[in-house]
Amino acid sequence: MMRVIAVTHLPFAGFFFAASTARAVLLSILPLKALSLLGSAQHVSVLFFVVSVCGIGASLGIYSILRHISLRTGFLISSLAMVISIALLWTQDLWTFSLGMMFHVFGITSMEVILSLYVMQKIPRSQLSEFEPLRMVSTVMALSIGPWLGVYLQSRYADWLPFMVAAAGVLTTLIYFRWLGLHHVVMKRSSFGTVNPVRHVRRFFRQPRLRLAWILTLARSSWWVLFIIYTPIYAVHSGLGELMGSAIVSIGSAWTLTVPYWGWIARRYSLRLLMRMGFIVTSLMTLAIFVFAGIPSVAVVLLVFAALGATMLDGSGHVLFLRAVRSRERAEMTGVFQTYRDVANLAVPGIFAILLKFFALPVVYAGGAGWTIAAAITSRHIPRKM
């Protein structure tokens, strides 16, 4: 049965590879370029903190916008925002680059919300646990190739080349979108409920299972934000170089190709066991990075294995949320749930912008170990049957 499901939904899962290409190619370039423009990891943290405020507004507001436009139009607006961001991010001016970051975050966040709605429209609830690992693999295949490729093209060929590749990724996504026939998918206006996002936030966090899904996904996403932003910066500070930093991000992300295996573990044993094990491995490895940060050759290996622990968590995908949300509240609750990404993008650089004013760069790994330990403890509240 699972083989039939995989074959049926493979083209749709593959769409997420194309959709992730544009941001994947720029993944390591953005923190490195911010570092070159600002000069310190603390100032980079401040920039990422300010820009991430835009993302929270996008997550909370996109479903209200979708009351007045179609999913297809929303997807096209998100794609346009990505194209504008690519043009702005290519410049060497700090203010233009910062504006490009805001468009970039808006484009990624709004597209995440819209694609989640497409998943819930096209994939039966009973098949979500089989589809999610396929979606995660497709996404992370792009994320495992893109970071190294972007820095390699920029350092070996031309500064503009990775930005052209990102633009080509957006164009490919639009072509794939139409080929799949997603422009024909319609969601009823009544599905979007009222327009007060504060009311939906309150309703979301009153539901224990939705609240648990958000907290644990936030912890996982926060660790990846730490990994993506600070790994290239650590590589530069420790003398390993930009290319090595991007390679570490790509290798760490490549672990996610094992997501189908972790998804099988979750189905065979339990999602609760998988997530507790993943958080424990991630926290121990991240704490070890803090301890051995002064020995880059050791820290690099630990970074890669910490990413393996985070990948175990990716095996759950968004199953906790997708199985908890009521069908009549999909749009509103998806908008609130997706704020986990923006809160992670906001909280991680925000906290470290303060800590890095008083402590050296390795403090970020001590912080990451702290919240993943807390998440391991919290994961005991996952229902035993999941």
Can you tell me the distance from the alpha carbon of 151 to that of 28, in angstroms, rounded to the nearest whole number? 7
Give the DSSP per-residue string, 27-86. Answer: TTHHHHHHHHHH-SHHHHHHHHHHHHHHHHHHHHHHHHHTTTS-HHHHHHHHHHHHHHHH
Closest CA to 137 of 282, 26, 295, 12: 12
Q: Kindly tell me the sign of the dihedral angle through the C-alpha atoms of 82, 84, 85, 91.
A: positive
- Model pTM above 0.85: no
Give me 272's structure tokens: 């609760």
Q: C-alpha dihedral over 33, 35, 39, 45, to 10 degrees? A: 130
- At 178, which amino acid appears? R
Give the DSSP per-residue string, 112-142. Answer: HHHHHHHHHHHS-GGGHHHHHHHHHHHHHHH
Q: Exposure string (b/e) for 301-323, b if CB count within 10 Å is 16 or more?
A: bbbebbbbbbbbbbbbbbbbbbe
Give me 93's structure tokens: 């001016």
Helix 197-205 × helix 41-65 angle, to 10°: 100
Can you tell me the distance from the alpha carbon of 254 to that of 143, in angstroms, rounded to the nearest whole number? 8
Closest CA to 176 of 23, 26, 11: 11
Q: What is the pLDDT along the chain (386 residues), one digit of tens a residue?
A: 444 444 556 777 778 888 888 888 988 899 999 998 988 888 998 888 888 776 666 666 666 676 677 778 888 888 898 999 999 998 888 999 999 998 888 888 888 778 877 777 777 666 666 677 677 777 878 878 888 888 899 888 888 899 999 999 899 888 888 887 776 566 554 444 444 556 677 888 888 888 888 999 999 999 999 998 999 999 999 988 888 988 998 888 888 778 777 777 777 777 788 888 899 999 999 999 999 999 999 999 999 999 998 888 877 667 778 777 776 676 677 767 877 877 888 889 989 989 998 899 999 999 999 999 999 999 887 776 66
pLDDT score of 227: 93
CATH of 2-381, one of 1.10.645.10, 3.40.1710.10, 3.40.50.620, 1.20.1250.20: 1.20.1250.20
Residues 6+ apart with CB under 8 A from 329: 193, 203
DSSP secondary structure code for residue 256 in this structure: G
Residue reference for tokens 């590749």? 165
